C-alpha cells in the first residue's frame, strides 16, 4: 500500500552555476535549524563538495539525487524517508534549472516540489525580473514561487527588480554582496567543509540573519511524498571487512554508497593514506576520489602506507579506485607547478594536473558482469601503460567515456560509482568476482 507524508519543501534553482545556490540553501537551512526545526537537504546531481557544506549547515547528511544516476524509485524513497522526521526539505539544484537531461526542473516537477530561483543580479535590474519571468514560464509544468536576488547592491537596486516582477512571481528575499557569507572555492568547486569548519559556522550564522526578515523565514507549503517500498538490498557482503581511504586527500564519498555497503552486510574500516602507517585488517579496499594533488607530498612521503597498499595489491585482494584514488594508484602525479611525486605504482602511468580541460558528465561503467552508473569530473590527464578493459558509456553521445583498468584485484577509473545503481555488481567488485 502506498503511503503519503506531507512535508514543507523548496527546490533552489538558478539560471546558471555560480549564482549562489549553495550559499542560499545553507542560509535557509541554518536559519530554520536555529528555530529548532529538523532540516533535510538533498543535492541534485553527482556533487561531493556542496553536500559537505550543506551537511554542516543542516546538521544532517546530504544525499545526492539524480533521475538518471539513481532512478525515480530511489529518489522517491529518499524523499519519503526524509519527510518522516523533517520539518523542512530543501533541494539544491545543479547548474541552470533546465540544464542536463534530466534537469533540476525535471526532478522538481516529477516530485511536485516548488522552486525558488536564485539569481546573481549584479549589474542588472529590470532585466533580472525579465530573466526570472522567462525561466518561470519556459515550461507550463514548472512551479516557481519566487525570486531570490543575490548580490543586490542597494535598496534602490532591489526596488527596481521588485517593481518589474509580475504579481505571480514575488521577490522572496535579497542578499547583499557580503564577503561574510560567501563560500570560498577552488578548481573543482567549493573548498571542503572540514578544511574551514569554524569559519563556515560564522558564515552560516551571518547568512541565517539575512534570512530572518524575509519570506524564506516562513515554511513553504507542504508537499506530499509517497513511499516506494523498495526491497532491502541482498546481504551479499555479509562478513566482508572493507577498508575505505578517508582523509584530507580522499573524501569524495556518497553517503548513499556507505549506507548501501553496510545494509549489504559489510563492516567498514576507515584509514588515512596520509597519516596512517598500516592498513586495517580488511578483505577489500575502496580508494575514493578527492584532492590527492593538494596533498601529493604527504602521500609520497608515507612510504610505509605505500608498502602496505602494494602488498595488498600483490595479494590479489579486491581494490576499487575512483578518480583521485585512481591517480594515487599510478606511478607518478605531476602538479600544476610541474613537481612530480611518486605514488603507489599499482598501475604504470602518470597523472598530470591541468589548469583547464578535463572531463565532466554522467557515464555508465560496463564490466563483464554488469553495468553501474556514475559520473566523472576531473582536471587531470592520466596516461596508463596498460590497455583498458572497457570504457565508460556516455548517455547523451557516442564518444567513448573514461577508460577502466583492471589488474589482479584492482578496478580503477576516473569514474565515481553510484553503488545503489547496481548492488549486485558492487558485491562482485568487493568480493573479487570481477578479478
Query: Is the preceding omega at residue 282 within 30 degrees of 0, hence cis?
Result: no
Look at the domain 4-226 and name its fold.
Rossmann fold (3.40.50)
Which cell goes with 29?
537551512
Task: Output DSSP code: residue 192.
Answer: P
CB 181 within 8 A of CB 174: no
Q: From first to last of the 435 residues of the chain, give the pLDDT tens digit.
A: 668 999 999 999 999 999 999 999 999 999 999 999 999 999 998 888 889 899 999 999 999 999 999 999 999 999 999 999 999 999 999 999 999 999 999 999 999 999 999 999 999 999 999 999 999 999 999 999 999 999 999 999 999 999 999 999 999 999 988 766 676 654 444 455 455 567 788 888 989 999 999 999 999 999 999 998 888 999 999 999 999 999 999 999 999 999 999 999 999 999 999 999 999 999 999 999 999 999 999 999 999 999 999 999 999 999 999 999 999 999 999 999 999 999 999 999 999 998 766 667 889 998 877 899 999 988 898 999 999 999 999 887 778 889 999 999 999 999 999 999 999 999 999 998 754
The residue assigned the cell 532491502 is: 232
What one-character-per-residue DSSP string does 197-239 give?
HHHHHHHHHHHHHHHTTSGGGS---EEEEE---PPPPP-TTTT
* pLDDT the model gives residue 99: 96
State the first-to-last Cα distance of the chain, in angstroms, to the nearest integer: 42
pLDDT in tens, 231-280: 899 999 999 999 999 999 999 999 999 999 999 999 999 999 999 999 99
pLDDT in tens, 151-181: 999 999 999 999 999 999 999 999 988 766 6
**159 CB neighbour count, 10 Å cutoff:** 12
pTM for this predicted structure:
0.90
Q: Quote the radius of gyration of the chain (alpha carbons, Å).
A: 22
Residue 245 to residue 302: CA distance in whole angstroms: 14
* Active-site residue set: 323
Domain range list for the chain: 4-226, 241-431
User: Where are the alpha helices (H) located in 16-154, listed in sequence order?
Assistant: 21-34, 49-58, 72-83, 104-110, 126-137
Residues in a beta bridge with 150: 120, 175
Residue 271 to residue 277: CA distance in whole angstroms: 9
* pLDDT the model gives residue 140: 97
Phi, psi of 393, rounded to the nearest 5 degrees: -110, 125
Is 241-431 in the same CATH topology as 4-226? Answer: yes
Burial class (CB in 10 A: 0-12, 13-18, 19+), 162: middle
Task: Output DSSP code: residue 122.
Answer: T
Look at the domain 241-431 and name its fold.
Rossmann fold (3.40.50)
Amino acid at each position: 500500500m502506498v503511503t503519503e507524508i506531507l512535508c514543507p519543501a523548496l527546490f533552489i534553482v538558478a539560471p546558471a552555476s555560480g549564482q549562489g545556490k549553495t550559499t542560499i540553501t545553507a542560509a535557509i537551512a541554518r536559519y530554520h535549524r536555529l528555530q529548532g526545526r529538523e532540516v533535510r537537504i538533498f543535492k541534485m546531481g553527482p556533487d561531493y563538495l556542496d553536500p559537505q557544506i550543506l551537511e554542516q549547515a543542516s546538521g544532517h547528511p546530504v544525499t545526492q539525487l539524480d533521475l538518471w544516476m539513481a532512478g525515480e524509485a530511489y529518489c522517491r524513497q529518499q524523499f519519503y524517508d526524509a519527510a518522516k522526521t523533517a520539518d523542512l526539505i530543501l533541494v539544491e539544484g545543479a547548474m541552470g534549472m533546465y540544464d542536463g537531461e534530466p534537469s533540476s526542473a525535471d526532478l522538481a516537477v516529477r516530485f511536485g516540489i516548488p522552486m525558488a530561483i536564485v539569481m546573481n543580479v549584479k549589474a542588472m535590474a529590470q532585466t533580472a525580473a525579465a530573466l526570472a519571468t522567462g525561466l518561470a514560464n519556459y515550461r507550463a509544468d514548472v512551479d516557481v514561487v519566487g525570486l531570490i536576488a543575490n548580490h543586490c547592491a542597494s535598496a534602490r537596486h532591489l526596488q527596481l527588480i521588485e517593481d518589474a516582477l509580475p504579481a505571480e512571481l514575488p521577490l522572496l528575499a535579497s542578499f547583499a554582496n557580503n564577503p561574510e557569507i560567501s563560500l570560498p572555492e577552488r578548481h573543482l568547486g567549493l573548498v571542503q567543509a572540514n578544511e574551514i569548519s569554524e569559519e563556515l559556522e560564522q558564515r552560516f550564522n551571518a547568512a541565517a540573519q539575512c534570512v530572518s526578515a524575509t519570506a524564506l523565514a516562513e515554511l513553504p507549503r507542504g508537499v506530499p511524498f509517497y513511499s516506494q517500498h523498495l526491497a532491502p538490498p541482498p546481504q551479499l557482503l555479509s562478513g566482508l571487512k572493507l577498508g575505505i581511504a578517508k582523509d584530507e586527500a580522499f573524501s569524495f564519498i556518497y553517503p548513499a554508497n556507505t549506507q548501501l555497503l553496510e545494509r549489504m552486510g559489510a563492516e567498514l574500516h576507515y584509514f588515512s593514506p596520509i597519516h596512517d602507517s598500516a592498513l586495517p585488517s580488511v578483505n577489500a579496499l575502496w580508494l575514493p576520489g578527492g584532492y590527492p594533488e593538494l596533498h601529493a607530498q604527504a602521500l609520497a612521503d608515507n612510504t610505509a602506507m605505500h608498502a602496505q597498499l602494494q602488498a595488498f595489491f600483490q595479494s590479489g585482494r579486491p581494490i576499487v579506485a575512483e578518480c583521485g584514488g585512481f591517480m594515487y594508484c599510478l606511478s607518478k602525479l605531476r602538479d600544476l607547478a610541474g613537481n612530480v611525486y611518486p605514488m603507489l605504482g599499482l598501475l604504470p602511468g602518470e597523472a598530470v594536473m591541468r589548469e583547464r580541460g578535463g572531463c565532466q558528465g554522467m557515464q555508465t561503467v560496463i564490466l563483464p558482469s554488469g553495468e553501474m552508473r556514475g559520473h566523472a569530473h576531473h582536471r587531470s590527464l592520466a596516461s596508463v601503460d596498460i590497455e583498458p578493459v572497457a570504457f565508460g558509456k556516455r548517455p547523451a553521445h557516442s564518444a567513448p567515456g573514461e577508460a577502466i583498468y583492471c589488474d589482479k584485484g584492482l578496478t580503477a577509473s576516473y569514474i565515481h560509482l553510484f553503488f545503489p545503481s547496481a548492488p549486485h555488481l558492487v558485491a562482485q567488485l568487493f568480493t573479487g568476482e570481477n578479478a
